[in-house]
Amino acid sequence: MAALIGVLPGDGIGPEVIDQALRVLDAIARRSGRHFELRQGLIGGAAIDATGKAFPEDTRRLALEADAVLLGAVGGPKWSDPAARERPEQGLLDLRAAMGVYANVRPVRTHPSLYDASPLRPERIRDVDILVIRELTGGIYFGAKQRDADRASDLCSYSRAEIERVLRVAGVMARGRRGRVTSVDKANVLETSRLWRSVANELFAREFPELQLEHMLVDAAAMHLLSRPREFDVLVTENMFGDILTDEASMLAGSMGMLPSASLDEKGRGLYEPIHGSAPDIAGRGIANPCGTILSAAMLLRHSLGLEAEAARIENAVHEVLESGLRTRDIAAASSREATTVQMGDAVVARLNA
C-alpha cells in the first residue's frame, strides 16, 4: 500500500519551499519505483482565510490518517492582529498536539561548503554536529493563558511523564552517536527545571548508564553554542528553550533556511517541517531557500517510512548542489552563483536523476 503523506504548505514562503520538496519526493518515487500518495490540506493563515479556522477539521483528519505530514510554514502580518480570535501559529500548535509529536528533532550540522555563510569564524564551526531534541507539546506553549487589561500570564507546567519520554528519545538517539547528552534547563530559577533535572538524573542512571549526561543552564548554553559548538552532541531541552536555541544554532549552519526538523510521536509517526518561519518579507519572490524543507522530506522518509537509503540520497544531493556553488540569497557568498528557489530544486532533482 502506498504511504499517505499529508502536505500542508501554509503561508508565506511555505508553498514555495514545499513545491520543491514535492518535486524531490517525486524524483525519489520515480527512481525507486515507490508510490507516495500525497494529500494536501490547509493550515495557518491560508486555512483561516478559507474556513475561518487555523486548524480545520479536515486537516485534523488528514493528519491523523496520514503516515507522515510535511509542513511549510505558518503566519504573516495579515493574521497578526493581537486581538484576532484565530491565529495561524495556534493552528500549528494544535496540529502538533493532535498528532502527539512530543519529540522535535533538529539536527544542526555544519558543512565545509557553507562555512563562509556563517557569521562565525570557520575554525569555530568546523565539524559541528549537534542533535537538538526539543520537547514540543508541553511547557509554556500549552499552559493556561490569562489576560485582563493590566496583567497577563502564561503557565509553564511539565509532568514527570512528559519529561521522561522526551529525555528517553534523547538517550536512544545519543546511543547511536557520541554518547553525550546535554540537558538544558534553568534549574537555578524554575521549579519545572528542577523536576526536569531530577527526572533526567534518575532516567539516565536507570536506562542509559553508559551515556554521559551533563546539565547546563540555558543562558550558559546560549553562550557555549557560539563559543564551543563542537562539544555538543545531543542537546535536549524544554519547548521554549529549544525554540530559541535552535534559531541561534541555525547560524552555525549558515542560515535558518538550512535546518530541517522531525517531530515524532511514540510510534515514529511524524510531522516534518523546516525550522524557519513563513518569511513574509520575501514571500512570493522566488528566492526562499528550499533546503530546510527538502531535508525535512528526507527526514520523513527516514523516520516515518523507514527509507534510509532514499533519505541519504536526498541529503547527499543537497550537499553536492551546495558544493557546486549554487546558493539562494540567504547563504550566498562572493564565489557562489545565486539561485532562485526553483533553480535550487532543479539542481537537487537533477542530481537525484543523474
Instruction: Provide, rounded to whole angstroms, the least separation between the CB of residue 89 and ligand IPM.
Output: 4
Here's the x/- map for Mg ion, 201-240, by CB under 5 A: it reads as: ----------------------------------------
The torsion angle over the Cα atoms of residues 323, 325, 326 and 332, rounded to 10 degrees, is: 110
Instruction: Provide, rounded to whole angstroms, the least separation between the CB of residue 140 and ligand IPM.
Output: 11
What element of type H or E holds 80? none
Tell me which of Mg ion, ligand IPM, none is bound by residue 265, counting a contact when its beta carbon lies within the kind-specific cut-off of 5 to 8 angstroms: none
The cell numbers describing 24, all together, are 524531490
Catalytic one among 186, 233, 272, 330?
186
The verdict on 89 binding ligand IPM (CB under 6 A) reads: yes
The verdict on 275 binding ligand IPM (CB under 6 A) reads: yes
With contact defined as beta carbons under 8 Å apart, do 302 and 308 qualify? yes
Which of 141, 206, 129 lies closest to 168, judged by CA?
206
Instruction: Provide, rounded to whole angstroms, the least separation between the CB of residue 92 and ligand IPM.
Output: 5
With contact defined as beta carbons under 8 Å apart, do 43 and 91 qualify? yes
Under rule CB under 5 A, how many of the chain's residues touch Mg ion?
1
Alpha carbons within 13 angstroms on the beta-carbon side of residue 258 total 31
**Strand duo 262-264 + 103-109: pairing:** antiparallel
Which one, 140 or 332, has the nearer CB to ligand IPM? 140
C-alpha 10/C-alpha 250 separation (Å) is 22
In the chain the first and final C-alpha atoms are separated, in Å, by 28
Task: Note if 102 is an active site residue.
Answer: no
Task: Note if 141 is an active site residue.
Answer: yes
C-alpha 306/C-alpha 329 separation (Å) is 33
What element of type H or E holds 61? helix 57-65
Instruction: Provide, rounded to whole angstroms, the least separation between the CB of residue 276 and Mg ion.
Output: 8
C-alpha 353/C-alpha 121 separation (Å) is 35
Which one, 271 or 311, has the nearer CB to ligand IPM? 271
The verdict on 277 binding ligand IPM (CB under 6 A) reads: yes
The cell numbers describing 112, all together, are 565545509
The verdict on 331 binding ligand IPM (CB under 6 A) reads: no
At 283, phi and psi to the nearest 5? Answer: -60, 140
The verdict on 238 binding ligand IPM (CB under 6 A) reads: no
Catalytic one among 102, 115, 141, 272?
141
Task: Note if 247 is an active site residue.
Answer: yes
Footprint of ligand IPM on 127-166 (CB under 6 A) = none
With contact defined as beta carbons under 8 Å apart, do 221 and 184 qualify? yes
Q: Which of 21, 92, 130, 234 binds ligand IPM (CB under 6 A)?
A: 92
C-alpha 352/C-alpha 84 separation (Å) is 44
Instruction: Provide, rounded to whole angstroms, the least separation between the CB of residue 76 and ligand IPM.
Output: 11
Tell me which of ligand IPM, Mg ion, none is bound by residue 92, counting a contact when its beta carbon lies within the kind-specific cut-off of 5 to 8 angstroms: ligand IPM
Catalytic one among 49, 58, 127, 219?
219
Task: Note if 19 is an active site residue.
Answer: no
Q: Which of 16, 67, 162, 243 binds Mg ion (CB under 5 A)?
A: 243
**Catalytically annotated residues:** 141, 186, 219, 243, 247
Q: Which residues bind Mg ion (CB under 5 A)?
A: 243
Q: Which residues bind ligand IPM (CB under 6 A)?
A: 75, 89, 92, 243, 275, 277
